[in-house]
């Protein structure tokens, strides 16, 4: 029974509580024909309950009521509730439950993040709502990665997939890897790179790849090309983008499946290339390839070809 006599405000006055107490004493138990405790129904209103609960939390936050900590970002403060942050943001769950020094601070400094980004992530934590745009997706994704909010990371990664273009596909793929996006997102970005390899390989992002990354890409079986010559052209474009790379030509040329090139192209273009002529391991690759090409044949298919843009095209 309620015993409080204080004024409750809009949710009920003391007189209303007294009336409830009086009425409840007059109500007799109803016979329901069984005392079996297993005769029941289970109600699951958690999603709606959580929605309503967090709406109240957000209202309290907007009015700075019952807040017990402040996040300081760019000299501005967000008044928030530790329990909400601990429940919705793994970064703060660890901070507040593992007895770290910050757990007892009244103000917590958030560095390397903009006020707008933190505001977006706090809104998501309190309401589940998030606005992702081309102008904020990277900052929100980086902030979510820092706060270990994997759901937001995946939402941002999915958004980036809708903006894939040959001019940005490599950057998006690498960024998603850095942000620990899930495997499916990275695979979809990688599939786009392979299907649009010709356009991707002509972009500056391709020429900026590290040697390990370009080797990994050029060795893929599912690159969409019309012929292996286009793989060779891409490999040479990467080498020529920086003279210092000429020294590692022997790491790049084996990515090109030389037996798939015509003997004429091998002798007139590949063997005559100054970079290859100066590199003994590269020079040694060419005679061995010529030996594997049967007389009168333009290609040798013991090595898997690239996938073609057209099913009739030569495939890797």
pLDDT digits over 163-185, tens only? 999 999 999 999 999 999 999 99
- Is the domain of 228 the same as that of 124? no
- The answer to whether residue 24 sits within a structural domain is no
Residue 103's CATH number: 3.30.710.10
**Helices 137-146 & 115-127 angle (0-180, nearest 10):** 70
Positive or negative, the CA dihedral 50, 56, 61, 62 is positive
- The answer to whether residue 10 sits within a structural domain is no
- The answer to whether residue 188 sits within a structural domain is yes
- The answer to whether residue 9 sits within a structural domain is no
- The answer to whether residue 217 sits within a structural domain is yes
pLDDT of residue 130: 94
Q: Which of 53, 26, 72, 54 is nearest to 123 (CA)?
A: 54
- The answer to whether residue 190 sits within a structural domain is yes
CA 1, CA 7: separation in Å to the nearest integer? 17
- Is the domain of 308 the same as that of 213? yes
pLDDT digits over 44-83, tens only? 666 888 889 999 999 999 999 999 999 999 999 999 999 9
- Does the predicted model carry a pTM greater than 0.85? no
- Is the domain of 227 the same as that of 310? yes
pLDDT digits over 4-24, tens only? 444 445 555 677 777 666 666
**Residue 103, domain extent:** 48-129
| Number of independent structural domains in the chain | 3
177-224-166-256 Cα dihedral, nearest 10 degrees: 70
Share of the chain above pLDDT 90, in %: 71
- Is the domain of 186 the same as that of 208? no
Cα distance between the two ends of the chain: 79
For the cut 60, the answer to whether the pLDDT of residue 293 exceeds it is no
pLDDT digits over 228-287, tens only? 999 999 999 999 999 999 999 999 999 999 999 999 999 999 999 999 999 999 999 986
- The answer to whether residue 13 sits within a structural domain is no
Q: DSSP secondary structure string, 156-197?
A: HHHHHHTT--TTTHHHHHHHHHHTT--HHHHHHHHHHHHHTH
User: Per-residue b/e over 98-134, b at no fewer than 16 CB within 10 Å?
Assistant: eeeeebeeeebebeebbbebbebbbebbbeeebebee
CA 246, CA 240: separation in Å to the nearest integer? 7
- Is the domain of 218 the same as that of 296? yes
- The answer to whether residue 310 sits within a structural domain is yes
pLDDT of residue 301: 39
- Is the domain of 171 the same as that of 217? no
Mean of the pLDDT values across residues 213-218? 97
- Is the domain of 179 the same as that of 208? no
- Is the domain of 211 the same as that of 232? yes
- Is the domain of 206 the same as that of 191? no
Number of H-type helices and E-type strands within the chain? 17, 3
């Amino acid at each position: 029974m309620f015993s409080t006599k204080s004024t409750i405000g809009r949710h009920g006055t003391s007189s209303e509580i007294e009336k409830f107490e009086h009425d409840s004493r007059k109500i007799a138990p109803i016979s329901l024909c069984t005392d079996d405790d297993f005769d029941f129904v289970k109600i699951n209103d958690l999603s709606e309950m959580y929605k309503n609960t967090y709406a109240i939390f957000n209202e309290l936050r907007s009015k700075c009521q019952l807040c017990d900590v402040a996040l300081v970002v760019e000299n501005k403060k967000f008044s928030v509730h530790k329990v909400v942050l601990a429940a919705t943001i793994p970064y703060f769950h660890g901070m507040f439950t593992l007895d770290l020094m910050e757990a007892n601070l009244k103000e917590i400094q958030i560095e390397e993040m903009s006020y707008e980004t933190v505001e977006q992530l706090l809104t998501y934590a309190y309401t589940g709502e998030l606005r992702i745009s081309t102008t904020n997706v990277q900052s929100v994704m980086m902030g979510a990665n820092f706060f270990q909010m994997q759901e937001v990371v995946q939402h941002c990664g999915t958004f980036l997939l809708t903006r894939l273009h040959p001019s940005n596909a490599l950057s998006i793929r690498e960024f998603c890897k850095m942000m620990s996006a899930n495997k499916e997102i990275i695979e979809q970005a990688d599939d786009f790179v392979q299907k649009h390899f010709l356009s991707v390989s002509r972009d500056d992002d391709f020429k900026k790849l590290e040697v390990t990354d370009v080797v990994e890409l050029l060795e893929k079986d599912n690159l969409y090309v019309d012929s292996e010559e286009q793989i060779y052209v891409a490999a040479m474009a990467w080498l020529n983008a920086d003279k210092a790379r000429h020294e590692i030509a022997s790491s790049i040329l084996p990515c090109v499946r030389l037996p798939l090139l015509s003997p004429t192209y091998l002798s007139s273009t590949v063997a005559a290339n100054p970079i290859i002529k100066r590199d003994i391991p590269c020079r040694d690759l060419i005679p061995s390839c010529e030996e594997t090409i049967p007389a009168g044949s333009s290609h040798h298919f013991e090595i898997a070809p690239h996938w073609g843009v057209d099913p009739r095209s030569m495939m890797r």
